[in-house]
Chains A and B, each alone.
Chain A
Amino acid sequence: MHKVYTNIIQIAGDVITVEAEGIGYMEIAEISTRRGMSLAQVIRIDGKKISLQVFAGSRGISTGDRVRFLGHLMRISCGDDLLGRIFNGSGVPLDRGPGLSDNLIDIGGPAVNPVKRIIPNKMIRTGIPMIDVFNSLVESQKLPIFSIAGEPYNELLARIATQAEVDIIILGGMGLKYDDYLFFRDTLKEQGAISRCVFFIHTAADPVVECLLVPDISLAVAEDFALKGKRVLVLLTDMTNFSDALKEISITMEQVPSNRGYPGDLYSQLASRYEKAVDFDNAGSITILAVTTMPGDDVTHPVPDNTGYITEGQFYLKGGVIEPFGSLSRLKQQVNGKTRSDHRAIMDTMIQLFANYRATLEKQSMGFQMSAWDKKLLKYGKLFEDNMMSLKVNIPLEQALDLGWQILAECFSPQETGIKRSVIEQYWPKKEL
Chain B
Amino acid sequence: MPDSGYPWPIETTRLDNGLRVVVSEDRTAPAVAVNLWYDVGSRHEPAGQTGFAHLFEHLMFEGSVNVAKTEHMKLIQGSGGSLNATTNPDRTNYFETVPAEHLELALWLEADRMGGLVPALTQHTLDNQRDVVKNERRQRYENVPYGDAWLRLLPLLYPPGHPYHHATIGSMADLNAADLATFQAFHQTYYAPDNAVLTVVGDATAAEVFALAQRYFGAIPARGDIPAAPDGHTVARTDRPAVETVTADVPAARVYVAHRTHPFGSPGYDVATVAATVLGSGRGSRLYQRLADGERLAQPDLVGAYGVDLAHAPAPVIATATARPGVSAERLAEGVAEVVDELATVPVTAAELDRAKALLSTAWWRQMATVDGRADALGRYATQFGDPAKTADRLPGWLSVTATQIAELAADVLTPADRVTLTYLPEETS
Please indicate whether A and B come from the same complex rather than being unrelated chains.
Answer: no
Binding site for A on B (CB under 8 A): none
Residues of A within 8 A of B (CB): none
